[in-house]
Amino acid sequence: MTVSITIGERIEDHSGSQPYVTVFRWGDPKAPLFPGDEITGHSNQRHFGFEDYQAFAQHTALIVTLLAPVETAADGICDLEEDDLSVVLRISAEWQAAHQVTPTFESEDEADWHLARLLWFAWWIEWALKHTTHLSLARSS
C-alpha cells in the first residue's frame, strides 16, 4: 500500500451529486529534486510506501504536529498555516544537526531519506503560502 501526500491549493466542487474535494497537483521547476527521487520530480505530490510513511512521520515527530490533523480528517485534507512552515523548518534543522546527513534517496541511511522529505515539505509549504489562497495538505492511500 502507498500513501500520497499533496501540499497546495484546496479545490472544492459541490455542483454535482457527489461533492469533490482535493488538493491541486502542481509542479515547479525550482522545487527540490533529490538524487534517487525522480518519481516525485518537481511535484507537490510525494508517494511513500506505508511503512516508510509511518517511520518518517514518527521519527521526525511530524505525526504529532503536521500530520495528525490529516490522519483524522474525514476527507483526508487539512488546512496548513504559516506556523506549520516554522515547525517543519525547525524539525529539518534539528534533524540535520542530530544526524549529519545529506538529503538523498540513493543512500542506505533512512535518515538521509527523512531529511529529503522534510526539505520537500518545507519547500512546498513555503511555495503554497505564496501562491495559494487555501493552503492544504492531502493524504490518500
- The residues near 43 (Cβ < 8 Å, ≥ 6 apart) are 25, 26, 27, 31
Residue 129 CA, distance from chain mean position: 14
Residue 73: the pLDDT is 77
pTM of the model: 0.91
Average pLDDT per 10 consecutive residues for the chain, totaling 141 residues: 90 80 90 91 91 89 76 83 92 92 91 93 95 91 80
**What does the domain layout of the chain look like in residue ranges?**
2-140
Dihedral over Cα of 141, 21, 45, 138: its sign: negative
CB 105 within 8 A of CB 34: yes
Quote the pLDDT of residue 119. 95
Give the mean pLDDT of the chain: 89
Q: How far is CA 41 from each of CA 64, 87, 89, 99, rounded to the nearest angstrom?
A: 27, 24, 21, 25
Confidence (pLDDT) at 53: 87
- pLDDT at residue 141, as a whole number: 80
